Amino acid sequence: MTRLRRTASAAAALAFTAVATAVLGFAGPASAHVTVNPKEATQGGYARVAFRVPNESDSASTTKLEVVLPENAPVGSVSTIPVPGWTVATEKRKVNPPIEVHGSQLTEAISKITWTATGDAAVKPGQFQEFGVSMGPLPKVETMVFKTLQTYSDGNVVRWIDEPQPGGEEPEKPAPVLTLAAAAAPSASGAPAASAVAAADDDDDESVGAAVGLGIAGVATGLAGLVFGGLAFARTRRGPVVKS
């Protein structure tokens, strides 16, 4: 039985490996584009994301990255995380209506972020680099599409600007896409949650009480068994009564 189980497990592992290799083998080339990670965030909240930039050239290095923020989804607060060896510059645009951030009305928003390599910091062949950004409050839209330009040291510019098509295949040069989920609606009252907690506490108390009761019953049964066992043993130790 043990051998059969091991054989079945090994066969399942080999089958999974074969399927994973096939899937990844086909998905590999298409997954080498610029992406945003994580790919999901919540509307109205703040998110820390990273634009992951792989180098697809065999001879040139990536020296510049330009990320354009979507015009239909302006964000009031945008800040970047320092990347060693790279400088960063931002561009702004006017927005109407204004964006409300912590009670303030903002009439401008970041429209573009540009990272440029200095010295020997360029992304070399076979490497990738992440460029971190913190932004929010995130707009109430389903997706944010970040059209991106990747510039190489040989002058080649790859335009990751193709927007996704619902129900269609992935475009040749897809732009990074951040999916935004609606924020959970707050409950009308905290009473149901409190009742649920109280009910859970009651269930826990009943469970503990039942466990204690069973434990006491078990101890009592054990003691009774010891007493009867001792009496039986004492009787066996007594010899036959000899009448004179």
Instruction: Give me the amino acid identity at 164.
Output: P
Check residue 218 and give its pLDDT: 52
Check residue 137 and give its pLDDT: 95
- Tokens linked to 206: 């009943």
Check residue 167 and give its pLDDT: 80
Tell me the DSSP string of the chain: -HHHHHHHHHHHHHHHHHHHHHHHHHHTGGG-S-EEESSEEETTS-EEEEEEEE---SS--EEEEEEEPPTTS--SEEEE---TTEEEEEEEEEEEEEEEETTEEEEEEEEEEEEEE-TT-SB-TT-EEEEEEEEESPPSSSEEE-EEEEEETTS-EEEE-BPP-TTSPPPSSBPPEEEEEPPPPPPS-SHHHHHHHHHHHHHHHHHHHHHHHHHHHHHHHHHHHHHHHHHHHHHHHSPPPPP-
Per the listing, tokens 């354009």 go with 68
d(CA 37, CA 76): 20
Pairing of strands 86-101, 104-117: antiparallel
- Tokens linked to 242: 């000899």
Please state the φ and ψ torsions of residue 218, each to the nearest 5 degrees: -65, -40
Q: Please identify every stretch of the chain with a pLDDT value under 50, giving residue numbers as ranges.
A: 2-30, 191-192, 194-200, 207-208, 210-212, 214-216, 219, 223, 226-228, 230-244
Per-residue pLDDT reduced to its tens digit, 30-65: 457 999 999 999 999 999 999 999 999 999 999 999
- Tokens linked to 22: 């096939």
